[in-house]
Chains A and B, each alone.
Chain A
Amino acid sequence: QTLRLTYTTTVVRTKNVGASGPEKYTEAFIKKQIEEFNLGKRHLANMMGEDPETFTQEDIDRAIAYLFPSGLFDKQARPMMKHPTEIFPEQRKIQWGEDGRPFHFLFYTGKQSYYSLMHETYEKLLNVQKYQDQLTGQDLPPQKEKRNLAGSRWLTKIELEEMLLEKLSDDDYSRFIQLLEKLMMMPCSDIEEKYIQKFSKEVPVQLQKIAIEPLKYDERGVAFSTGEGTRKTARATAIVYDNGTGKMTVNGIDILHYFPVLQDREQLLFPFQFLDRVGKHDTVCTVSGGGRSAQAGAIRLASAKALRSFVTEKEVEFMRQAGLLTVDPRVKERKKPGQEGVRRKFTWKKR
């Protein structure tokens, strides 16, 4: 047997401990840090000659910047003194006590908060079932109050992860939502309403009633209203007057001269034609930007928006469904590198 001399560094000799994730802090450690922080704050206030009672975080930052000037570029690399809850991130502290026994009864599953949540929700489900059985036993029909399903949504996966301080998988999340839906669908789930509300959020109703502006009156006593419209790069404002003869002026020029093409004038006419008010309104518009067709579209949108004030809510809904009140989102698509145009590719050569 030969003796082989092997040279190793101290780095290699240290035990191969696997990455243990972010360091976990005990509660006692964090408490101590908070005490030290408060003490240090008072000392700093004394040093700066200010009142320790009214020493805010901004004062601390200014004091530290004065006492420890640093030329480093990265703001986070400079010396800082912040409350320990900001420095040590909110995370799971060590989960077991001194004798080694974990605190939570589902600790050995790995995902303790998620599984305890499922356990609780299932318990609520069983409660509701028991209550239902009691009611049927007493021959009382189970009441079903109409809950507003449209106005609320469940928490998203990210929000749930923040709530539980634990990573979830998509599967876990969908299972939890299924359980909640099942709980909600039961007739007597009103008893657990509070619990369900913890996981649902109000959704602002999509169809927000856009406030229709009231009619304004000018010096002559004629009612008028304004509207703005855009299309591609064109921006237009239109002022629609009541008791008119159907005259339309754009940038001080009559439409016949400004829009020689019939198609553009048809576009301008469309809102009035839709509401059967062809010869009843006068319009004065200003428009800039865009081309011929874009300006026509912009003025159309602006006059439609102005007409909302003259018209009933039902007709406003009809206009919306006809597409008169929607901004046309189409703009010029950019040319991409490696292609000749927006969509056209360079000629493909076989060899």
Chain B
Amino acid sequence: DDKLLSGPLSHPDYFNVKELFSLKDLFDARVHLGHKKGCRHRFMEPYIFGCRLDQDIIDLDQTMQHLQLALNFTAHIAYRKGIILFVSRKRQFCHLVETTARECGEYAHTRYWQGGLFTNAHIQFGSGVRLPDLLIFLSSLNNVFEPHVAIRDAAKMNIPTVGVVDTNCNPCLITYPIPGNDDSPSAMELYCKLFRMTITRAKDKRRQNEAFEELR
């Protein structure tokens, strides 16, 4: 059991997430497009490549690195049978996110976030509930363009977060931010595909390793 858990930690990219995406894929899915200059958040300035005709362009090299770290992290969490919760408050992609979560066998929350879901969990759900071990934000703002409450709540409950941050978002409290576009359908479909593939890969790897251990 110890070998099962410590095996993946020795490699920097045990699940080989680098091969799942390339710079060209990100560019074709319009991940580099940000909002206008006026919407820019101060803390996103290091991730922005430049500004063309008032529209911010996100640096895809940095995005690649952040995406690789984030996918690696989710793969490790899924390998250790952690609960992953997909969060997005974009009404356009609510259905897409929920279907992705269902196909992975993980959980989703794309609806109105009730106040004490994490902080008051024992009363909301019942005693003995297990909270998610990872939160994935496919859009870190809510419908009023403010940072989603779940970011702050996850930080309070010591739950690590992975989040796609656009040029108008605050990347502060997110553990693994991924600077990228969160408004285009192509970009969202790309993210959903990537997360789904990493999680299924990690779970398959886990089943394989468990089978190996049993054979011994």
Contacts and interface: CB of A to CB of B under 8 A. Distances in A.
A106 to B, nearest CB: 6
B130 A96 contact: yes
Interface stretch (B15-23, B104-112, B137-145, B171-179): B104-112
Given A105-B107, A119-B95, A20 B127 contact: yes
B85 A108 contact: yes
Interface in A8-34: 17-21, 24
A110 B95 contact: no
Given A101-B83, A110-B114, A95 B125 contact: yes
B125 A109 contact: no
A102 B95 contact: no
8 contacts: A96-B129, A99-B81, A100-B129, A106-B107, A108-B132, A109-B109, A110-B114, A110-B125
Contacts of B114: 110
A123 B98 CA distance: 11
B126 A24 contact: yes
Contacts of A109: 109, 111
B155 interface: no
Nearest to B112: A109
Contacts of A94: 126, 128
Contact of A18 (B95, B111, B123, B128): B123
* B interface majority secondary structure: loop
A126 B95 contact: yes
A235 B132 CA distance: 72
Interface in B67-99: 81, 83, 85, 95, 98
Contacts of B107: 102, 105-108
A163 B106 CA distance: 25
Nearest to B131: A108
Given A105-B101, A110-B114, 7 more contacts: A18-B123, A19-B123, A100-B129, A105-B108, A106-B107, A106-B109, A107-B107
Interface in A95-123: 95-96, 99-102, 105-111, 115, 119, 122-123
Nearest to A115: B111
Nearest to A114: B111
A41 B85 CA distance: 47
Contacts of A105: 98, 101-102, 105-108
A95 B128 CA distance: 11
A20 B83 contact: no
A50 B58 CA distance: 83
B117 interface: yes
B41 interface: no
B127 A100 contact: no
A108 B117 contact: yes
Contacts of A24: 126
A106 B108 contact: yes
Nearest to A99: B81
Nearest to B102: A105
Contacts of B101: 105
Nearest first, the 10 A-B pairs at minimum CB distance are: A100-B130, A105-B102, A18-B123, A109-B109, A108-B109, A109-B111, A110-B114, A105-B107, A108-B107, A119-B98
Contact of A122 (B95, B105, B126): B95
B155 to A, nearest CB: 17
Contacts of A17: 122, 127
A24 B122 CA distance: 13
A305 B172 CA distance: 81
A20 B81 CA distance: 28
B208 interface: no
A96 B132 CA distance: 13
Given A105-B106, A115-B111, A110 B126 contact: no
A119 B109 CA distance: 12
Nearest to B85: A108
Contacts of A101: 81, 83, 130
B184 interface: no
Nearest to B87: A108
B53 to A, nearest CB: 34
Contacts of B124: 110
Contacts of B111: 109, 111, 115
Contacts of B95: 119, 122-123, 126
Nearest to A92: B126
